[in-house]
Chain A
Amino acid sequence: MRRPDRKYLSWFFLTGFVLCANFSWAQNNTSPYSMLGIGDIESSYFNRTSGMANTGIAIRNNRYSILNNPASLTAMDDQFFSFELALRGRYINYTGADIVPGNSTSRDFSVKRLSLAIKANKWWGTGVGFMPFSVSNYLFSAQKFIQGTTESTPALYEGTGGVNQVYWANGIKIGKHISAGVSLAYLFGSLSQTESVASSSIATALITTNEIYLHSPYFSGGAQYYTGIGKHWDLTIGGTYNRKATLKAEYSSKVSTTATDTLSYAITNNNYFKLPEGYGAGISLVKDKKYSFTADYRFQNWSALQEKGNQYALVNSNRYSAGFEISQKRITWGNFLVESMFYQAGLFYSNSYLQINNQQISEKGFTAGLGFNSKRNAMGVAFALEVGQRGTTTSNLIKETATSFSMTISYRDFWNTKGKKYD
Chain B
Amino acid sequence: MNPMHKIRIGIFAILFFIIAVLGFTSCTKTQIDFGGQFLDNSYTNIVLVDTFGSSWSTIYRDSFPTSSTGSLLVGRYTDPIFGKVSSATAFHLAPPTLIDVVNTASFDSLTLVLKCDKSFYGDTTVAIRYNVFQLNQKLFFLEGTTSIYNNRVVDFNPTAIGSKAAVLRPGDGDSLVIRLSDELGMDLFTRFRNKADEMRNEDDFINYFRGLLITADPATGGAIFGFAANAKMSLFYHESNLFNTEKRLDFNITQTQFQFNQIKADRSGTPLDALNTIKSELTSTSSGGGAYLQPATGLFVKVRFPTLRNLLLRTDYQKLMKAELVIKPFQESYTPSFQLPPKINLYATDVTNTQGSAISNETGGLVTDYLQRESTAYSFDVTGYLASQLNVVTDNKNGLLLNVPTGTKAFDRALIRDGGTLTGKSYLKLYYLSIKKTTP
Please list the residues of chain A having a beta carbon within 8 angstroms of any beta carbon in chain B.
2, 5, 7-8, 11-12, 15, 19, 23, 26, 28, 30, 32, 35-36, 87, 89, 94, 96, 98-100, 103-109, 137-144, 146-149, 151, 153, 155-158, 195, 197, 201-204, 206, 208, 210, 251, 253, 255, 257, 263-264, 266-270, 309-312, 374, 376-377, 379, 381, 397-398, 405, 407, 409
Contact = CB atoms under 8 A, between A and B. Distances in A.
Contacts of A270: 440
A169 to B, nearest CB: 25
B438 A2 contact: no
Contact of A253 (B24, B34, B43, B319): B43
A147 B434 contact: yes
Contact of B11 (A2, A11, A94, A374): A11
A270 B440 CA distance: 6
Contacts of B43: 208, 210, 253, 255, 268
Contacts of B26: 28, 106-108
B383 interface: yes
Given A142-B33, A201-B322, A379 B7 contact: yes
Contacts of A409: 14
B44 A140 contact: no
A144 B49 CA distance: 17
Contact of A106 (B30, B44, B433): B30
B4 A268 contact: no
B31 A141 contact: yes
B86 to A, nearest CB: 43
A263 B433 contact: yes
Contacts of A107: 24-26
Contacts of B44: 195, 206, 208, 255
A67 to B, nearest CB: 21
Contacts of B384: 203
A204 B31 contact: no
B7 A8 contact: yes
A263 B435 CA distance: 10
B8 A8 contact: yes
Contacts of A15: 11, 14-15
Chief secondary structure at chain A's binding surface: strand
Chain B interface SS verdict (over half): mixed
Given A106-B30, A197-B46, A379-B7, 12 more contacts: A7-B4, A8-B7, A11-B11, A12-B11, A23-B22, A30-B29, A89-B25, A94-B30, A106-B26, A147-B434, A253-B438, A377-B10
Given A12-B11, A19-B18, A269-B440, A5 B27 contact: no
13 contacts: A11-B11, A12-B11, A19-B18, A87-B21, A89-B21, A89-B25, A104-B30, A139-B32, A151-B48, A202-B321, A263-B435, A309-B38, A376-B6
A32 B32 contact: yes
A140 B31 CA distance: 5
Interface residues of B, number: 52
Contacts of A35: 35, 38
Interchain residue pairs A-B with the least CB separation, the first 6: A142-B36, A106-B30, A203-B383, A202-B321, A8-B7, A268-B438
A405 to B, nearest CB: 8
Nearest to B28: A28
Nearest to B318: A263
B38 A158 contact: no
A206 B433 contact: yes
B288 interface: no
A146 B32 contact: no
A377 B32 contact: no
B236 interface: no
B41 A144 contact: yes
A144 B25 contact: no
Given A140-B34, A146-B48, A201 B431 contact: yes
Contact of B38 (A26, A202, A312, A379): A312
Contact of A139 (B22, B30, B45, B323): B30
Interface string B33-62: 111111101011111111000000000000
Interface string B386-407: 0000000000000000000000
B266 to A, nearest CB: 43
B29 A28 contact: yes
